[in-house]
A and B are shown apart, each in its own frame.
Chain A
């Protein structure tokens, strides 16, 4: 009779551990999916940029520097895709910086601001930037869920055993940490 009880307990423990393992697999896969989704958004941005440069080139003859910077940064970002996550993140952040400069300059050209093509492209790029941000935000949410999953009791007992390791959050751009200096002097 005791055999039955022992077997029942063993089965219960096995099911419990299986449950934990499957749960952790599910969470880790969500993290990987979220990472892949960021790639999708980044590629979309790469594809939009040549159209934007074409649309503004005619009006912004004097701003060659800015346009060249954008085109080069884009090429770097595409190439960095093959060089690993850190290199890619850096290249993408640089591209964001050049785009910001471009839009700041566009503000000075009234005909450009009113041009339907440019407006529509601007909206496209705005939404793409937002989509990249939200993808990263969602990625961080999945990482949080996964890290909580492997670090809380009782899961942490099994996590190491099965090879589940902590994942890193997506960091904000390095420049974001720099507070912009406001010059209020009367010169």
Chain B
């Protein structure tokens, strides 16, 4: 099922994430149109409603776009490091920036025995990568490079920006739905077509029903699509890491080691889980095969990498064995 070259995997992932993002756009447009029409009885009003929702969502996200990375780094107790405090790590990062032709990001260490990593920053010029001391101790140079390649690729592929855009739309859908449902059920019903001049009539009532249905379902659907996009971008980052290192087995072994590690990352929580290399909330990681997961299951990620080197796929039980193969 997975593609044979990392180029093909990258194309497939990019295409899928864009298609998924379009689904969210369509949902937003449909919701906006239905609500606007239901409330005002004409399409122009619908356009205005949608536009306002997107604008509000956008304004709310601007803070996150510009200041989000500092917030996340502070929330994770990340400490900056340089050539004197972590020479090998800085070297590994530098090698990846040469392969990727991007500027050096700021590098941070999180003092925790659980192995994990994340990247933030809206573009390569404003990027930060953080890894845990646990990761640094438990992985060898090749494995570390695979993880760093993955994180740098998130920056390089503008994933943070992409996720933000999808997030704005999903947020707008939530805002619109919330506003509409409150207005309808607690606003005294002043939006009913009978109170307005002529206009919509039967169609408006249909739109109204449609708007209510969408207002209830769209936020959930949008959230599921957002999670699917997140999973696609994770696969994309894995394939992009291979493009940089040309060494799938380093990343494979890193994934296997992290999968079998039992430590819990203290500083992570629901708000930051999607940023990490693997989902730091253990019970979410175990449920990875569901639609509600931010990350694909580790064994699936390993198997896509194994396709690149022509090896047979692993069963979940075999992952442990991979860690001994250094």
Interface, chain A (partner B; CB < 8 A): 34, 37, 41, 120, 123, 126-127, 130-131, 134-135, 137-138
A-B pair count, CB < 8 Å, reads 31
Q: Are B246 and A123 in contact (CB under 8 A)?
A: no
**Which residue of A123, A126, A137 contacts B99 across the interface (Cβ within 8 Å)?**
A137
Residue interface bits B134-173, CB-to-A below 8 A is 1, else 0: 0000000100000000000000000000000000000000
Query: Which chain B positions have C-beta within 8 A of A135?
Result: 98
**Which residue of B88, B91, B101 contacts A138 across the interface (Cβ within 8 Å)?**
B101
Q: Are B87 and A131 in contact (CB under 8 A)?
A: no
Q: Are A127 and B98 in contact (CB under 8 A)?
A: no
Q: When A and B form their complex, which 9 residue pairs have the shortest distance between CB atoms, in order from nearest?
A: A127-B91, A134-B99, A134-B98, A130-B95, A134-B95, A131-B98, A138-B101, A131-B95, A135-B98
**Considering residues B92, B99, B100, which has the most beta carbons from chain A within 10 angstroms of its beta carbon?**
B99
10 contacting pairs across A/B (C-beta < 8 A): A34-B101, A41-B98, A126-B141, A127-B88, A127-B92, A131-B95, A134-B98, A134-B99, A137-B246, A138-B100
Q: Kindly state whether residue B94 has any CB partner on chain A within 8 Å.
A: yes
Q: Are A127 and B246 in contact (CB under 8 A)?
A: no
Q: Are B101 and A127 in contact (CB under 8 A)?
A: no
Which residue of chain A has the shortest Cβ distance to B100 in the bound complex?
A138
Main secondary structure of the interface of B (DSSP, over half): helix
Residue interface bits B50-92, CB-to-A below 8 A is 1, else 0: 0000000000000000000000000000000000000110011
Q: How far is the CB of B196 from chain A (nearest CB, A)?
A: 48
Given contacts A126-B141, A138-B100, 16 further A-B contacts (CB under 8 A): A37-B98, A123-B87, A123-B91, A127-B88, A127-B92, A127-B94, A127-B95, A130-B91, A130-B95, A131-B94, A131-B98, A134-B96, A134-B244, A137-B246, A138-B98, A138-B99
Interface, chain B (partner A; CB < 8 A): 87-88, 91-92, 94-96, 98-101, 141, 244, 246
Query: Which chain A positions have C-beta within 8 A of B246?
Result: 137
Query: Which chain B positions have C-beta within 8 A of A123?
Result: 87-88, 91
Which residue of chain A has the shortest Cβ distance to B99 in the bound complex?
A134
Query: Which chain A positions have C-beta within 8 A of B101?
Result: 34, 138
Query: Which chain B positions have C-beta within 8 A of A137?
Result: 99, 246
Which residue of chain A has the shortest Cβ distance to B96 in the bound complex?
A134
Which residue of chain A has the shortest Cβ distance to B91 in the bound complex?
A127
Query: Which chain A positions have C-beta within 8 A of B87?
Result: 120, 123
Query: Which chain B positions have C-beta within 8 A of A127?
Result: 88, 91-92, 94-95
Q: How far is the CB of A38 from chain B (nearest CB, A)?
A: 10
Q: How far is the CB of A183 from chain B (nearest CB, A)?
A: 25
Q: How far is the CB of B189 from chain A (nearest CB, A)?
A: 57
In the bound complex, CA of A138 to CA of B183 (Å): 57
In the bound complex, CA of A113 to CA of B264 (Å): 35
Which residue of chain A has the shortest Cβ distance to B246 in the bound complex?
A137
Q: How far is the CB of B246 from chain A (nearest CB, A)?
A: 7
In the bound complex, CA of A126 to CA of B95 (Å): 11
Query: Which chain A positions have C-beta within 8 A of B100?
Result: 138
Q: How far is the CB of B85 from chain A (nearest CB, A)?
A: 14
Query: Which chain B positions have C-beta within 8 A of A37?
Result: 98
Query: Which chain A positions have C-beta within 8 A of B98?
Result: 37, 41, 131, 134-135, 138
